[in-house]
Each structure stands twice: as C-alpha cells, then as structure tokens.
Structure 1
Amino acid sequence: MHVDAWRGKTVVITGGSSGIGESLLGILSKIPCRVINLSRSKPDLIAKAEKKLAQVSADLFHIPVDLSSEKEINKAASKLAKITDGVDVLFNNAGITAHSRLDQTQMEAFRKAFEVNFFGPVLLTLRLLPYIKKKKGVVVVTSTVSGLYGIPGRSAYSSSKAALHAVMESARIELGEDGLRFVIFCPPYTKTNLRANGLDGDGNRLGESHFQGKSKSPEEVARRMIRAVEDPNSRLVVMDKSGFFLKWMRNISPSFLEKVLFQKLYKDFH
C-alpha cells in the first residue's frame, strides 16, 4: 500500500459496517483522508471515533442508507454533496449472496439479489458520477468469481454480479477518455457473514454457516483491493487459483469448466 496515494483523497465505501467494507474503513482510517461510509448501520469504528474512543487520522462520516432503495440512495447522494464536491474512489462493496438451484428459485430471490448487487451500485455510481468525474476517480465493485460464469446453485447471485460486470466494462470504455477507471474485483471465499445474511430460493434469509474450506480474511482482501486501485492497469482482478481458473477456462474450454463445476459443487444443488 502506498500511503501517499491516499492522503487528502475522498473515498466512499458502501457496506463499511462489516466484512470487507469494515476492513477497508479500518485501513483507510489511519491515513489523513476523508472516508464516507454508506450502510444501514453505523460502523463501530465511526461510532467510537465520534465519542473519541478510537484514534483515527481520517475524517470519517456515516450516511445511513438502504442500498436496495432508490429513494434512499438519492437522499444519501444529496447528503454526500454537503460533505464533499469530489470523490476520488468509490468502493461499491455492499452485496448479498443467494443460494438455490434454478428450479427451486422464486423471482423474489432474483429481484432482491439484483436490487442489492446490481441496481443499487449502478444507481449510486450514476448519482456520484459528477463528483467522480471532477476527481477523475476510480469506481471499484466488489464482485465474486461466481460472476465470471454461471455457478450451479447460485443462478441469482451469479447473474446479478455478471450484469454488474457488463455495466462496469461498458463504463470503462465510454468514460475512459474522461480519466475515469472502473475495476471489477473478484475475491475468493472470504471470512464474512455473507452466507448468513444471504437469500434462499424464496428470497428469505439464508442463515448458512461460513464456508469451512480455505478462505481469505477480510483484511487480506481489503488490502488487495487497495493495491488494485493504486495500479492504473487494474481491470478484472482475481486473487487465487480458482479465480484465475474461472477467468481463463470460461474462454478456453467452457465445456471442461462446466464439468469441473458440476463435480465440485454437486452437493450445492442437490
């Protein structure tokens, strides 16, 4: 991490009250910059900083918002305009997973997944675009390797993230000449509450336990995301072998990839 690259910058983070977003907030709070968090609940770090119970170098702000609500996103953008007139980095980090096979998935699950994973970040990006343009800033979306190919048992989740990828790729081409950058970041399994707070096939709370296999810590992922912002060549970023495998095999041999996914994730959709 190059600390000087972040000094004096204005950074917006969604979902900073837990997981990867909380780690991003914690890392950046140690740097003299301005960090604005958008989430339904106020992060512990910001609450403690307001009470002088935590030492931070950054100016921290919290704007309460439900990122599945267009009305609340519009209100949040208006509040943000009173704090800053420019945004250097937008971390579209908040997201929700959804687990169920297609023939057991109701449209409500698709709608909820798309509201949080697609419509929310797209609308927020549009509302903040004038501020990002002013700083020739960077938009980062926290995605998933499941957005690189349709993953069995994850049709709603995969499709909502894949749709987001397409928008970010279009924006990169359209707005690159204005100096803007768009980074799609696909971390591997990470130790967060994503599964517990995800959706089942009916669109209700999933309540699954954390993935028990090898996984990254939120701080590891957050630091890699920060490095991706610092790298002017970052576009589609993956962190581990499974990510690289999906990234390349979807083009080289999709039939082989589908066989591997069928075998590896068979229990997830039966």
Structure 2
Amino acid sequence: MSTILITGAASGLGWELARQFAPRARQLVLVDIQKELLETRQQELTDQYSQLDVSSFVVDLSDSQAVENLTSQVTESHPQIDILVNNAGITHRSLVTKTHARVFQRVMDVDYKGPVELTLGLLPLLKKSHGTIINISSMASWMPVLGRAGYCAAKSALNQFFETLRCEVRHQGIHILMVYPSFLDTPIEQNALGHDGQPARHQRSTIGQMRTASETVTAILKALDQGKERLFPDRKTWAASVLYKLMPRAYQKLMTRKFASELEQ
C-alpha cells in the first residue's frame, strides 16, 4: 500500500485519480486550490475507505512560497511519498496577438513552474521510497494547437524537463510516467482563460475523440502497473503528432482548418 500525493485532486481528472488510487493506497494527500470542494472530497474518501488516511492541502501552485510550505508540511507529516501525481493545470483559448502577457505567465506558472518546484521539494522522499512521478502532460506538448500557444509552451517545457530528469534519476530508482492525453471532458476546458484572463467566452474546438476522466485514469493505472514511461491514450491524436514531426506544414494546414473558428475570436 502506497502514499500518494495528487495535485488538482478536487475535480476532473485529479478527482478520478484519487477515486481509483484510493483502494490501492495507505495514505492519500490531496492538493487543490478549491478549499470547500477539496474538503468535501476528503470527507467522501474518508467515509468510503475506513482504512485510508486522507489529508488535504489548499495550495495555489503558481505561488512558489505556498509550494515550499506544502513540501515542508508534507515532509514533516509523511515519512515517504511513493507516488507524486502532477495533475493540476489550467489552459487558455485565445490568439497570441490578442492575449495579455499575464495570461501566458499564469498558465506557465501553474502548468510548468508549480510541478517542477513541487517535484524538487519532494525528491528526497521519492528517492527514499524509489517512488514514481506521474505527470499529466498533453499532446499539445508535441504539436502546436491554434489558440493554445501558452498552454503548448507550458506543456512542452514540462515534457522536456521531466524527460531530462528521467535520465538523471533513473539510476536512483525513481520512475517517471509521462501521460499525453488530448481532449478530455474535464473542467480544465470549462475553466479556460480568455485573452484578458477572464473565462473564455467561446466554445472550444476539438479533434479526435473526447475521452472521459474515468477511461483515461484506467489507462494511466494500467500503464503504471506495466512500468511504462509514456502513455498516449488517444491513438488518433498520437498519429497527428507523428504527422507533425514528419510533415509539419501539412499538419499545420489541417490543424488550422479544423480550428478555424479560433481565428474569428
């Protein structure tokens, strides 16, 4: 039985991760920015699993001091962390030329800086347990998506950082699983930022199959059990990433046509 820390655990993919990890965990550490919902989720799991020790921390992962405080508290209260799931994230739907710089900064802080700082703070515990780091990245880290430049940049940075870290810590027994979903039916898109930092007002464009949090987490746990280092839940989107690598101009034409409505915003 493991001690598992999950960020963005109060809703969407994070909550589904908590639900499916609960039967195989000894301790769950839930982290989210939504205080009331997080407390509700903690109580739900405590009521359902009497053997499970559930703790929660309200943290804005874009705040470096808050992340440092979190790592200190977790280190004091938990002798080891077996699995760290960097799931929390935000996105935007807005064209580069119309987007305020603070929107790009916010996305980068939550999607890249926060996971990096949290991982660095918890590395001693992960080394001790020969633990696992699961990062919820995106296929947007592999290929451009119109109207998501900041999100693509943040996930690309996340990808490169942890793929490099993998090479540096593998010999210390730390395993890293990178997950590359495409379009999920979760609140991350419902809460997407617009060009001015307010909620995006237009409907999102998608490509490929819209997947549920449940089936995505099931695939993640299977990949974890199999010791995989990378997971591409949507094969059609993976094929699009291959097209981008081999024929980038053809991919960009197809993608721009599919996401043409973004140009009208």
Query: TM (normalized to structure 1)?
Result: 0.89
Which amino acid in 2 is paired with 1:46? Answer: Q
Q: Which amino acid aligns with 2:28?
A: V
1:25 equivalent in structure 2: 18
Partner of 1:48: 44
Q: How does 1:1-270 map to 2 (within 5 A)?
A: 8-40=1-33, 41=35, 42-50=38-46, 52=47, 54-206=48-200, 214-235=209-230, 237-270=231-264
**C-alpha RMSD of the superposition:** 1.9
Q: Secondary structure at the match of 1:85?
A: coil
Moved more, 224-233 or 111-120: 224-233
Residue by residue, what CA displacement relative to the aligned partner does 1:171-211 show, whole Å, maximum 9, x if unpaired?
Answer: 01111111112222111221111122121112222255677
Secondary structure at the residue paired with 1:184?
A: strand
User: 200-209 or 115-124: which moved more?
Assistant: 200-209
CA-to-partner distance for each residue in 1:92-151, whole Å, 9 max, x for gaps?
A: 000001111111112111100001001000100100111111111111111111111121
Q: Distance in 1 between matches of 2:52 and 2:218?
A: 17
Count the aligned residue pairs.
260
What TM-score does the superposition give when structure 2 sets the normalisation length?
0.91
Partner deviation per Cα, 1:58-97 (whole Å, 9 max, x = no partner):
2211112111111111111111113212111111000001
Displacement, 1:228? 2.1
Change (3 A) 1:189 1:218: same
The AA in structure 2 aligned to 1:13 is I
Aligned to 1:5: none
Distance in 2 of aligned mates of 1:263 and 1:104: 20
Q: Which amino acid aligns with 1:33?
A: R
Contact 2:59-2:70 at 8 Å conserved across structures: yes
Q: Which runs of 4+ in 1 moved over 6 A?
A: 210-213
- What amino acid is aligned across from residue 153 of structure 1 in structure 2? G
Unaligned runs of 5+ in 1: 1-7
Q: Match of 1:194, SS?
A: helix
Q: Which amino acid aligns with 1:259?
A: K
Structure-2 change in CA distance of 1:137 and 1:269 (3 Å): farther
Structure 2 portions without partners, runs of 5+: none
Question: Does 56-65 or 15-24 show the bigger shift?
Answer: 56-65
Higher relative helix content: 2
